[in-house]
Amino acid sequence: MSKVRATIAETYDALPMAAASRETKGSINLRIEAGTRQLIDDAAAILGKTRTEFMVESARRQAVDVLLDRRLYALEPAGHDAFLHALDQPPPPGPKLTALMRRVPVWRR
Share of the chain above pLDDT 70, in %: 80
The domain total for the chain is 1
CA separation for the pair 34, 16 (Å, rounded): 32
Q: What is the DSSP letter of 89?
A: S
- End-to-end, the C-alpha distance of the chain in Å comes to 31
- Phi, psi of 30, deg, nearest 5: -125, 145
Q: What is the pLDDT of residues 30-68, one digit of tens each?
A: 999 999 999 999 999 999 999 999 999 999 999 998 988
Q: Which of 8, 1, 3 has its CA nearest to residue 73?
A: 8
Domain hosting residue 62, numbered range: 3-108
Which pTM was predicted? 0.51
Residue of 49, 56, 60 lying closest to 10 (CA atoms): 60
